Structure 1
């Protein structure tokens, strides 16, 4: 009998008047996040800024202990209903083991972010079954599309997310549903073999990345395959793989061709071009929650 990991815990959806926090678990902020505060306040939320929002230690938003303590403060505060990670970059892996997440068992709350925050999401799904939001972060708000911000609001306040995407010639058709996992491919590889390595079996996997060489994408996907993480999926959603690089001697395959070559012996649906990742239209998805995927010749429909 297969086991698919812990049951999903969906934190209470937000309502007007709720208190939310912004903290920096990774790289320091280069500019104030006034636009983000104004946006959240406009949604009727009370915004509390962590000390890391204005801190700096080398490239980080304070040293590892300082960043961990800032997150811990908001985890332990029962009045905080959601924790926004202000930005990604690098650094979550340095502080995550200094944080005690056990309070989330009795008082689950939303964690929002993407990129480097993938490690945090995977850790919370693996160890607590806690659903998290993959979506825009405070630093990205000025460049975000209105549509992506509306999907973030909908995810936070408990409205259904429905996406219709144009077909890609390399899509593999089919229908499936399952718990959504994933995020940034590089960070999933960083989590592999650790206490934050989520169970892939029976899941819908979502992937994005930025600034990688094509050969590196190929290698990371084959690492997942060799670890047995791709053969038991229900579906595969490929989002933004932006600013990809190639060598002087071309790799010889596009991103979709690389993906389909890796998963060619499996039968589950695969779709490309989902609007998420390091793009302005970074639409929200809820990791750790059931999602349905329908891939036809004319359209891709994703509902959550």
Structure 2
């Protein structure tokens, strides 16, 4: 049966409650021994919140940029996704090679089982977008487990628990997040002495069209890490134009963030997505803070110039330097949730409805 706007309903995972089981597995990169202390602290924090933690075997090793073979990573993840006693999966972080396991996962089978939270960002976007667009699961692009280890979390990072645990009434639960006051100028691989982020730089959201100092748009959220998603565009695992069609009545908000691509590589990646229809028939675009090395020599293309090359002809809001991605802190964004974005004078807010 052909899916339409009326028949394709995305599943919302149930809110977590004390006593629930949370599985920890690394479907991409594992955790080397040197970082086991931080992993143990993150797991301790989960137990402290009242959860039972189940550790997978694909977790505490790292070899050739992966926690285990692609077959083993896929089997363990699939087992956790299908296990009715597991209520959430919180990988330690992303990595490089989650793409390897996509053909080994049964996304069609997952359509027939209740959705559960799978959270994180970076290479985990590879899994999130496929789970949302193929299996119909709402997924959470937000802080990785390893970033939840500090004793005290900043206000933006802390919001992940409001998403995961809900308010006891998920049917009418609305999550509101406002742009951070300050951000950390280095990536999430570094932490301050107290274990949290070193938030010292003033946050300022920017809009590409300088004449557009305020805007308001809404739609279903979808997106993630550009470095991984750009490779999936045009495949069955990230058929966003098809996803747009099924949600055209609500509109679409696309969000992306760049980790490592220099401006020319970034331009090619974005141009490829543009040619594949990723920027057509949507309400607006949110771009996270750029984590790639900054180009300052005027002889070479800059990050901002690359954005103007791609987006200047679009008649929709394009907001960048948003709290998304590898330069913390970051929002907790639910792929598949209906959201509203409000922007004015360098600040913004985002409301998501979990229905």
What is the SS of the residue equivalent to 2:125? Answer: helix
Partner of 1:44: 50
Partner of 1:175: 216
Q: How does 1:96-107 map to 2 (within 5 A)?
A: 96-101=102-107, 102-103=109-110, 105-107=112-114
Partner of 2:16: 14
Partner of 1:205: 254
Residue 340 (structure 2) aligned to one of 283, 292, 299:
292
- Identify which range, 51-60 or 86-95, moves more after superposition: 51-60
Residue pair 2:295, 2:301 contacting (<8 A) in 1 also: no
Aligned length: 302
Distance 1:218 1:163, change over 3 A: same
1:238-264 deviation per Cα after TM superposition (whole angstroms, max 9, x unaligned): 112113354977433333x43243222
Partner of 1:124: 131
1:275 and 2:323 correspond = yes
1:253 and 2:312 correspond = no
Q: TM-score, normalised by structure 1?
A: 0.90
Residue 136 (structure 1) aligned to one of 122, 133, 143:
143
Distance 1:191 1:106, change over 3 A: same
Looking at structure 2, the residues matched to 187 and 18 of structure 1 have their Cα atoms a distance apart, in angstroms, of: 31
Q: Which consecutive unaligned segments of at least 5 residues does structure 2 have?
A: 168-173, 180-203, 245-250
Q: Which consecutive unaligned segments of at least 5 residues does structure 1 have?
A: none
What is the SS of the residue equivalent to 2:44? Answer: helix
1:44-73 deviation per Cα after TM superposition (whole angstroms, max 9, x unaligned): 211111111124443311111111121122
Residue pair 2:207, 2:320 contacting (<8 A) in 1 also: no
Pairwise CA RMSD? 2.4
1:90 and 2:96 correspond = yes
Question: How many Å apart are 1:98 and its aligned residue?
Answer: 1.2
Residue pair 2:177, 2:331 contacting (<8 A) in 1 also: no
What is the SS of the residue equivalent to 2:73? Answer: helix
Looking at structure 2, the residues matched to 13 and 81 of structure 1 have their Cα atoms a distance apart, in angstroms, of: 9
Partner of 1:77: 83
1:110-136 deviation per Cα after TM superposition (whole angstroms, max 9, x unaligned): 111111111101111111121100111
1:156 and 2:164 correspond = yes
Looking at structure 2, the residues matched to 299 and 55 of structure 1 have their Cα atoms a distance apart, in angstroms, of: 41
What is the SS of the residue equivalent to 2:339? Answer: strand
Residue 239 (structure 1) aligned to one of 262, 272, 288:
288
Looking at structure 2, the residues matched to 69 and 167 of structure 1 have their Cα atoms a distance apart, in angstroms, of: 41
